[in-house]
């Protein structure tokens, strides 16, 4: 007898059973294999990858879902992007020194791209709470700044209904004033002048704010933010940067290294961390031309580059922007007694470190970050291996293309630079 009809009948019966019971119950392994089919990555992300590069979609989805659980809330406005910056191990410096050198990525603050976002936001919030600023009333914030605070203020002013008028020295990188203009701020680039001169950028901002308030023909008031003296500056770091570092390090920090412009960062972080970590060393990174190194080491504000008859420019004689100063400010004094030591960094070292970080780590940083990293690496060498040193990466090199990075030159893919060439040890 022909066996084919029986074979068809059996096959049809088996298919029916499979469909009834559910494919997966009878052959779970096969079902899982179908579901977990590996998809070649080049079929998703374009050509050019070898077929062996696969992703497991199920694993990916599981991981994404797990990550989702940590997203706690949707923020309100650009202000929600201020703070909570990543902390990461700077691989090249850590490997070369045997210490963990950690960079707090403050350049990732999402309003104005620097730690000044925290300060600008806190100064504005504090003034609002004190009834000194009213949104959409014509109130204008005036500030004297080398740029970063101005950019953060101008951004947050836009978001909260204020106008910004920024006074800055004319020798600072033009990227910063160009950006301020794009944010709709009024920008005064004034020639560098001593602090006793009414045309010094800080004095000019203070005077313009007073003129605005006194003028009955103008809408709103003039508010002088005054980052050098305003206590809301160091408090922003006491409430934000310091606690974040403590948390991200699980309470294990041996040293904190930072430069000072107003002094708000170093003072605020030191005031938060020191009571919790009595053995913590707080170290000032100071560029050439700044008097702060001597203020810490010897109690007097003085730098040989600034002595009478030798000064080339009025503020601080360095190509580094944002840190270094030659007068006492309330924000620096708020933390001065907590600073254990100071490390001087010259322009050549800062330029070489900026090149090193780009070359070895793909980190394109600005001048003050480079100074901080020189000081952190030098401290690591002096302390010996095993220490955990945290420093601040203030802003991106894109803010310094026309000045600092013009001096630093291009990165040509060199790999033979030695850290000792930079540190001179």
Ligand X SMILES: Cc1ncc(COP(=O)(O)O)c(C=O)c1O
Q: Which stretch binds ligand X (CB under 6 A): 42-50, 198-206, 259-267, 305-313?
A: 259-267
Q: Which stretch binds ligand X (CB under 6 A): 15-23, 146-154, 248-256, 280-288?
A: 146-154
DSSP 8-state class, residue 396: B
Contact (Cβ atoms closer than 8 angstroms) between residue 172 and residue 399 = no
Alpha-carbon span 251 to 238, nearest angstrom: 15
Question: What is the residue-wise DSSP string for 162-189?
Answer: -EEEEEEETTS-HHHHHHHHHTT-EEEE
Is residue 315 near ligand X by the rule CB under 6 A? no
Return the residues of window 44-83 that contact ligand X according to CB under 6 A.
none
Is residue 172 near ligand X by the rule CB under 6 A? no
Return the residues of window 99-138 that contact ligand X according to CB under 6 A.
114
The residue (of 221 and 397) whose beta carbon lies closer to ligand X is 397
Is residue 146 near ligand X by the rule CB under 6 A? yes
The residue (of 323 and 343) whose beta carbon lies closer to ligand X is 323
Return the residues of window 268-287 that contact ligand X according to CB under 6 A.
none
Contact (Cβ atoms closer than 8 angstroms) between residue 293 and residue 326 = no
83: phi > 0 → left, psi -120 to 50 → alpha, else beta; which? left
Q: Looking only at Cα atoms, what is the longest distance across the chain?
A: 119
Q: Name which position in 209, 260, 283, 284 contacts ligand X (CB under 6 A).
A: 260
Is residue 394 near ligand X by the rule CB under 6 A? yes
Q: Name which position in 83, 222, 366, 397 contacts ligand X (CB under 6 A).
A: 366
The residue (of 149 and 177) whose beta carbon lies closer to ligand X is 149
Residue numbers annotated as active site: 116
Is residue 291 near ligand X by the rule CB under 6 A? no
The pair phi, psi for residue 265, each rounded to 5°, is: -65, -55
Alpha-carbon span 355 to 286, nearest angstrom: 19
Place of tokens 């070359």: 359
Size of residue set near ligand X by CB under 6 A: 17
Q: Name which position in 261, 289, 335, 397 contacts ligand X (CB under 6 A).
A: 261
Q: How far is the CB of 116 from ligand X (least distance, A)?
A: 6
Q: Name which position in 230, 265, 290, 326 contacts ligand X (CB under 6 A).
A: 265
Q: Structure tokens of 187?
A: 């920008």
Q: Structure tokens of 300?
A: 């007097």
Q: Which stretch binds ligand X (CB under 6 A): 75-83, 164-172, 256-264, 270-278?
A: 256-264
Neighbouring C-beta atoms of residue 353, cutoff 10 Å: 27
Contact (Cβ atoms closer than 8 angstroms) between residue 376 and residue 391 = yes
Could you tell me the sign of the dihedral formed by the alpha carbons of 234, 299, 197, 311, in that order?
Answer: negative
DSSP 8-state class, residue 57: H
Alpha-carbon span 366 to 398, nearest angstrom: 7
Q: Name which position in 263, 291, 335, 397 contacts ligand X (CB under 6 A).
A: 263
Is residue 173 near ligand X by the rule CB under 6 A? no
Alpha-carbon span 151 to 175, nearest angstrom: 11
The residue (of 139 and 339) whose beta carbon lies closer to ligand X is 339
Q: Name which position in 222, 264, 289, 291 contacts ligand X (CB under 6 A).
A: 264
Residues binding ligand X (CB under 6 A)? 114, 146, 148-149, 259-265, 322-323, 366, 368, 394-395
């Amino acid at each position: 007898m022909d066996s084919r009809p029986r074979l068809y009948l059996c096959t049809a019966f088996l298919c029916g059973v499979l469909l009834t019971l559910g494919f997966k119950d009878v052959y779970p392994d096969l079902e899982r294999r179908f579901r977990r089919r590996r998809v070649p990555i080049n079929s998703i992300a374009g050509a050019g990858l070898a077929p062996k590069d696969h992703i497991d979609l199920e694993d990916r989805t599981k991981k994404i879902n797990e990550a989702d659980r940590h997203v706690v809330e949707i923020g309100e406005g650009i202000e929600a992007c201020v703070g909570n910056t990543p902390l990461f191990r700077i691989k090249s410096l850590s490997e070369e020194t045997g210490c963990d050198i950690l960079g707090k990525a403050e350049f990732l603050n999402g309003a104005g791209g620097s730690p000044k976002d925290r300060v600008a936001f806190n100064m504005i919030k504090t003034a609002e709470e004190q009834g000194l600023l009213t949104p959409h009333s014509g109130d204008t914030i005036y500030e004297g700044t080398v740029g970063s605070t101005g950019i953060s203020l101008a951004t947050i002013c836009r978001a909260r209904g204020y106008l910004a008028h920024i006074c800055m020295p004319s020798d600072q990188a033009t990227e910063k004033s160009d950006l301020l203009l794009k944010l709709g701020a009024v920008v005064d680039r004034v020639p560098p002048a001593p602090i006793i001169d009414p045309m010094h950028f800080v004095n000019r901002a203070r005077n313009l704010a007073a003129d605005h308030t006194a003028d009955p023909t103008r809408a709103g008031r003039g508010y002088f933010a005054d980052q050098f003296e305003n206590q809301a500056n160091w408090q922003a770091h006491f409430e934000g940067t310091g606690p974040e570092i403590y948390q991200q390090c699980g309470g294990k920090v041996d040293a904190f290294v930072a430069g000072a412009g107003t002094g708000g960062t170093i003072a605020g972080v030191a005031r938060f961390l020191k009571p919790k970590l009595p053995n913590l060393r707080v170290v000032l990174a100071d560029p050439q031309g700044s008097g702060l190194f001597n203020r810490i080491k010897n109690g007097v504000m003085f730098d040989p580059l600034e002595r009478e008859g030798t000064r080339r420019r009025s503020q601080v004689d360095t190509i580094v922007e944002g840190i270094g100063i030659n007068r006492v400010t309330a924000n620096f004094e708020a933390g001065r007694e907590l600073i254990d030591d100071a490390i001087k960094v010259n322009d050549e070292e800062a330029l070489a470190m900026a090149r090193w970080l780009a070359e070895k780590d793909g980190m394109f940083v600005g001048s003050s970050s480079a100074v901080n990293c020189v000081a952190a690496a030098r401290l690591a060498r002096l302390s010996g291996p095993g220490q955990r040193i945290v420093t601040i990466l203030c802003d991106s090199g894109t803010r310094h293309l026309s000045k600092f990075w013009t001096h630093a030159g291009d990165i040509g893919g060199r790999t033979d630079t030695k850290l000792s060439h930079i540190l001179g040890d």
